[in-house]
Structure 1
Amino acid sequence: MSNSLRILVGVDGSPGSEAALRWALAEAALRAGRPDAGGPACTVTALLAWTGEGLPAGVLRAAEQTDEGTLGAAAAEMLERAIKRVGEPDGAVELRRLVVRGKATQALTGAARNYDLLVVGEHGHTPLYRRTAGSVSQGVVHHSSIPVVVARRDSAPAASARRADRPVVVGVDGSDLSLGALRWAAHEAALRGAPLRVVHAWGGLDQMYAEALVTAQGALLRQAEGILDHAVTLGLDGAADLAVDTVLAPDPAVRALLRESRDAQLLVVGSRGLGGFARLLIGSVSHQCVLYAACDTAVVHTDGDAVPAAEPAAAMTGAGLAAG
Structure 2
Amino acid sequence: MPRTVTVGLDGSHESRAAAEWAAREAKLRGLPLKVVHVWEPVPEPMAQAPLLGAETQQHWSEAIPREAAAGIRIRHPEVDVVMEQVSGRPAEVLPGVAKDAELLVLGSRGMSGVGGFMVGSVGLAVVAHAECPVVLVRAGEQAADEHTMDPAGIPSAAAPFRPVVLGLDATNPDDALIGFAFEAARLRGTSLRVVHGWNEPPYIAYGMPPDLEMNARIAAEEAAAVAETLRPWRQKFPAVEVVADSLSGKAANHLVDASREASLVVVGRRVRRSPLGAHIGPVTHAVLHHATAPVAVVPHD
> Is TM (by shorter chain) over 0.5?
yes
1:204–1:14 Cα change, 3 Å: farther
Deviation at 1:43, TM superposition (A): 1.1
Please show how residues 112-191 of structure 1 align to structure 2 within 5 Å: 112-123=98-109, 134-157=120-143, 161=157, 163-164=159-160, 166-174=162-170, 178-191=174-187
Segment of structure 1 superposing worse, 199-208 or 282-291: 199-208
Match of 1:197 in 2: 193
**After superposition, what is the alpha-carbon deviation per residue over 1:102-123, rounded to whole angstroms, capped at 9, x for unaligned?**
1112111011111111000113
2:291 paired residue number? 293
Give, in angstroms, the shift of residue 62 of structure 1. 7.5
Task: For 2:135 and 2:253, locate their aligned partners in 1 and report how far apart those are by CA, in whole Å.
Answer: 20
Q: Summarize the Cα distance change of 1:77–1:96 in structure 2 as closer, same or farther, 3 Å threshold.
A: same
Mapped to 1, the partners of 2:130 and 2:282 lie a distance apart of 16
Structure 2: gaps spanning 5 or more residues: 111-117, 148-155, 272-278
Identify unmatched segments of 5+ residues in structure 1: 33-41, 125-131, 274-280, 304-324
Deviation string 1:60-89 (CA, Å, 9 cap, x unpaired) is 2689x97x6542332111222333455545
Task: List aligned pairs for 1:207-226, cutoff 5 A.
Answer: 207-208=204-205, 211=208, 214=211, 216-226=214-224
Q: Which amino acid aligns with 2:41?
A: G
Q: Distance in 1 between matches of 2:66 and 2:260?
A: 34
1:239: Cα distance to partner? 2.0
The answer on 1:28 being equivalent to 2:15 is no
RMSD: 3.0
Deviation at 1:134, TM superposition (A): 2.4
Task: Describe the superposition over 1:153-209 as per-residue Cα deviations: whole angstroms up to 9, x where unpaired.
Answer: 343336975643621111111255544222211111111111111111113665545
Matches within 5 A, 1:36-51: 42-51=31-40
Deviates more, 1:164-173 or 1:287-296: 164-173
Shift of 1:90: 4.3
- Aligned counterpart, 1:241: 239
Q: State the secondary structure of the residue aligned to 2:236.
A: coil
- Alpha-carbon contact 1:172-1:231 (below 8 Å) kept: no
CA contact (8 A) 1:187 1:240 kept: no
**TM-score computed with the length of structure 1 as normaliser:** 0.74
Quick one: distance in 2 between partners of 1:142 and 1:162? 35
Is the 1:180–1:235 Cα contact (8 Å) retained in structure 2? no
Matched, 1:60 2:56: no
2:181 counterpart letter in structure 1:
A
CA distance in structure 1 between the partners assigned to 2:157 and 2:182 by the alignment: 16
Q: 1:177 to 1:8 in 2, by over 3 A?
A: farther
Pick closer, same or farther for the CA change 1:60–1:156 going to 2, 3 Å.
same
Q: 2:9 is aligned with what amino acid? A: V
**Alignment match of 2:226 (pick from 209, 228, 237):** 228
Q: Deviations over 1:257-316 (max 9, x none)?
A: 00000111111111149xxxxxxx87111111111101111111136xxxxxxxxxxxxx
TM, length-normalised to structure 2: 0.79
CA distance in 2, matches of 1:249, 1:291: 21
Partners of 2:200 and 2:15 in 1: CA distance: 34
Counterpart of 1:306?
none
Determine the C-alpha separation between the residues in 2 that align with 1:298 and 1:162: 23
Number of residue pairs aligned between Structure 1 and Structure 2:
273
Q: Distance in 1 between matches of 2:290 and 2:255?
A: 10
Contact 1:121 1:151 in 2 (8 A): yes
Instruction: State the alpha-carbon separation in 2 of the partners of residues 240 and 259 from structure 1.
Output: 27
Alpha-carbon spacing, 1:23–1:138, altered in 2? closer, same or farther (3 Å): same
How far off is 1:25 after superposition?
0.5
* CA drift at 1:243: 1.5
Instruction: Check the 8 A contact 2:127/2:280 in 1, yes or no.
Output: no
Which residue is 1:316 aligned to? none
Q: Does 1:104 align with 2:102?
A: no
Identity percentage of aligned residues: 29
CA pair 247-93 structure 1, distance change in 2 beyond 3 A? same
